[in-house]
Amino acid sequence: MDRDIIIRGLNIVLDGYRVLEDVSIDIRGNELTVILGPNGAGKTTLIKAILGLVKPSSGSIKVFGYDPFKEGEKIRKLIGYLPQLEKYSYEIAIPSIEVVLMGLMASRRFPRIPSKDDVRKALECLGRAGVRDIAYKPFNELSGGQRQRVLLARALVKEPRYIILDEPFTGVDVRGQREIIECLIDLKDDIGILMILHDIAPIAEHIDNLILLNRRVIAWGPPIEVLTPENLKRAYGTEIPIIIQENICYPLLGDRHA
Amino acid sequence: MLDDVISILMNPFFIKAFIGIFISALVAGNIGPILTTRGISFLTAEVAHAVLGGAALGIFIRSFILSNVDPLIIALLFGILSGLIAAYLGEGGRGRFEAAIGMSLALSMAIAVLFLAIIPSEDIPLVWGYLLGDILFLSLNDIILLSTSTILILIISLLFNREFLYIAFDEDGAKAMGLNTRLYHYISVFISSLGIVVLTKALGSIIIYAILIVPPMMASMLTNSYTRIRVLSFLSVLIYGIIGLYISFLVNVAPSGLIALLLVSTYIIIRLRRG
């Protein structure tokens, strides 16, 4: 269980465009790993490849010993996935509990009718994510932080070994971000967490491993080693100011106006 | 006055047309929300045009190859096939999809034009019937075929309600959780195409957009519950259908045009009042 995700020489070409180039990394379980990089760096493509949703052009990926593209079913039971908030449809009102039940029903066989036990489990996971009280509120009426925690409950209900989050803080206010982080920190003892971020500041002190990506892996390892001025310049193509406080690195990646 | 109303209501044309309207409302109430929430409403134009080509092909087959073939069945198969092909081509991404739709629209119309030149001239109005719909002239066979299709659509959309909801809400997530999203995408395209053929036969390809897309858009201004959107869409097509049908008997205008006019103007009024 030391290395849950092993990627070697991964290349991905989509529509003739090389999205990822020679990516080789190991991601350990029971750690919080962050993928950081500019827009178009291939961050989402990398996690889609880990989930088996995108086919590698060459190279290999092993997730818990399985090939995600060929043995996707096995991996999908072990990994909970939270796509970016903008990927969901907000035109239809779905009660939060129904969103959580989706986590159980989607991998079941037809007919997908939740049992009493399923409902109890879903409510329990909403509780673990701290949103038990909004179980019957429509998802599209929730705040960004609440939505993200309902989705976290949807991932938890499958009892995964790993959770992958794509930009969990985008569109979420500071208070919502804190609530999500508290949930994740509680989970970290049992579950490995991998998340894509474009700014690590909200969660910097909790990151065990950082992957700096811009089509290629610029650097990976503990944040303090990865976040050097040289590496950041190679990833972003421009100087990025860094603040170091109590041995924690905060690159200033937000919009900077003079 | 009352006698006039009763004589219209008891008119056998009206009764058959009423059955057609009821079927159309059931189909539109189920398919319309699937098309709008999944963002695949372009299927409407695609399949409706394919039905014209299919009908012309069907009449050609009946005239020259198999005399006992019902052209409606050929139109039905042709419409479903074109919907599924569009869905298949669309898997490559949005841009490819639009190009594919444009091409298959042109192809369907080209087939229609080609066969219109070959088929016996007395059968040509049958093809044009699909432009405005045959709501007043549905045969018993038509009604049986349309009802069977409608029952199939209802059964499938009830059975896979949850799956359709999942892929409409979060297709990536559903796929990552192990749902066969591709299968349910194709099933939803299949019943949508089938429904579009039914509506084209009953009310015509020209107004089909108004029947399928306007009711769920109106309904979604009032509610965002999926079930309520479907019920409201059904009710609005049914009510406007009956009003349109009734007026068409009074003033001798094609009912489908009236229904579309009523639906679209109501939508515009609601939009204007809401600002």
Q: CB distance B176–A91 less than 8 Å?
A: no
Mean model confidence pLDDT for chain A = 89
Tell me the pLDDT band of B147, cut-offs 50, 70 and 90.
very high
Q: Is the pLDDT of residue B88 over 60?
A: yes
Amino acid B92: pLDDT? 62
Task: Note whether B51 and B78 are within 8 A (CB).
Answer: yes
Choose, out of A14, A74, A89, the residue to mutate when testing the contact with B (most B CBs < 10 Å). A89
Smallest Cα distance from A212 to chain B, Å: 24
Q: CB distance B162–A107 less than 8 Å?
A: no
Cα A88 from Cα A103, distance rounded (Å): 15
Amino acid B54: pLDDT? 92
Smallest Cα distance from A243 to chain B, Å: 36
Q: CB distance A91–B165 less than 8 Å?
A: no
Chain A residues within 8 angstroms (CB to CB) of chain B: 15, 51, 53, 72-73, 76-77, 79, 81-83, 87-89, 91-94, 98-99, 102-103, 105-107, 110-112, 138-140, 151, 154, 158
Smallest Cα distance from B18 to chain A, Å: 31
Q: What is the pLDDT of residues B13-50, one digit of tens each?
A: 888 899 999 999 999 999 998 888 887 888 888 899 89
Q: Is the ipTM of this complex over 0.90?
A: no
pTM check: above 0.90: no
Of A82, A91, A103, the CB nearest to B220: A91
Of A76, A87, A94, the CB nearest to B177: A76
The enclosing H or E element of A245 equals strand A242-245
Higher pLDDT among residues B10 and A60, named by residue: A60
Amino acid B95: pLDDT? 63
Q: What is the pLDDT of residues A81-132, one digit of tens each?
A: 998 888 888 878 889 999 999 999 988 888 888 999 999 999 999 999 989 9
Tell me the pLDDT band of B157, cut-offs 50, 70 and 90.
very high
Higher pLDDT among residues B4 and B196, named by residue: B196
Cα A68 from Cα A177, distance rounded (Å): 30
Of B163, B175, B224, the CB nearest to A140: B224
What are the Cα distances from residue B98, in Å, to A62, A96, A134? 37, 34, 40
Question: Which residues in chain A have Cβ-Cβ distances shorter than 8 Å to B157?
Answer: none
Q: What is the pLDDT of residues A153-197, one digit of tens each?
A: 999 998 999 999 999 998 888 988 998 999 899 888 889 999 999
Q: CB distance B226–A94 less than 8 Å?
A: yes
Cα B238 from Cα B105, distance rounded (Å): 29
Q: Helix (H, G, I), strand (E, B), or coil: what is residue A66?
A: strand
Phi, psi dihedral angles at A14 (to 5 degrees): -120, 125
Task: Note whether A179 and A149 are within 8 A (CB).
Answer: yes
What chain B residue is nearest to A49 in terms of C-alpha separation? B176
Region B68-84: what's the mean pLDDT?
Answer: 91
Q: Helix (H, G, I), strand (E, B), or coil: what is residue A33?
A: strand
Region B160-179: what's the mean pLDDT?
Answer: 89
Higher pLDDT among residues A124 and B134, named by residue: A124
Question: Which residues in chain A have Cβ-Cβ distances shorter than 8 Å to B36?
Answer: 91
Choose, out of A47, A74, A78, A94, the residue to mutate when testing the contact with B (most B CBs < 10 Å). A94
Region B124-143: what's the mean pLDDT?
Answer: 86
Cα B100 from Cα B50, distance rounded (Å): 13
Q: Is the pLDDT of residue B187 over 60?
A: yes
Q: What is the pLDDT of residues A199-224, one digit of tens each?
A: 888 899 899 999 999 999 999 999 98
Q: CB distance B93–A88 less than 8 Å?
A: no
Tell me the pLDDT band of A133, cut-offs 50, 70 and 90.
very high
Neighbours of A110 (CB within 10 A): 13
- Least confident among B151-160, B206-215, B218-227, B256-265: B218-227
Amino acid B178: pLDDT? 84
- The DSSP string of A132-181 is GGGTTSBGGGS-HHHHHHHHHHHHHTT--SEEEEESTTTT--HHHHHHHH
Q: Helix (H, G, I), strand (E, B), or coil: what is residue A65?
A: coil
What chain A residue is nearest to B174 in terms of C-alpha separation? A106
A-to-B residue pairs, Cβ atoms closer than 8 angstroms: 81
Question: Which residues in chain A have Cβ-Cβ distances shorter than 8 Å to B163?
Answer: 110, 112
Question: Which residues in chain B have Cβ-Cβ distances shorter than 8 Å to A103?
Answer: 177
- The DSSP string of A74-120 is HHHHHEEEE--GGGS--SSB-BHHHHHHHHHHTTSPSS----HHHHH
Task: Note whether B218 and B33 are within 8 A (CB).
Answer: no
Q: CB distance A92–B174 less than 8 Å?
A: no
Q: Cα dihedral angle (B194, B196, B197, B203), rounded to 10 degrees?
A: 150
Higher pLDDT among residues B48 and B96, named by residue: B48
Task: Note whether B68 and B141 are within 8 A (CB).
Answer: no
Strands A79-82, A162-166: parallel, antiparallel or unpaired by DSSP?
parallel
Higher pLDDT among residues B77 and B92, named by residue: B77
Tell me the pLDDT band of A258, cut-offs 50, 70 and 90.
very low
Of A51, A93, A112, the CB nearest to B176: A51
Tell me the pLDDT band of B209, cut-offs 50, 70 and 90.
confident
Q: CB distance B177–A81 less than 8 Å?
A: yes
Amino acid A53: pLDDT? 87
Region B46-59: what's the mean pLDDT?
Answer: 91
Amino acid A43: pLDDT? 94
Amino acid A257: pLDDT? 41
Residue B180, CB half-sphere, CA atoms under 13 Å: how many?
Answer: 10
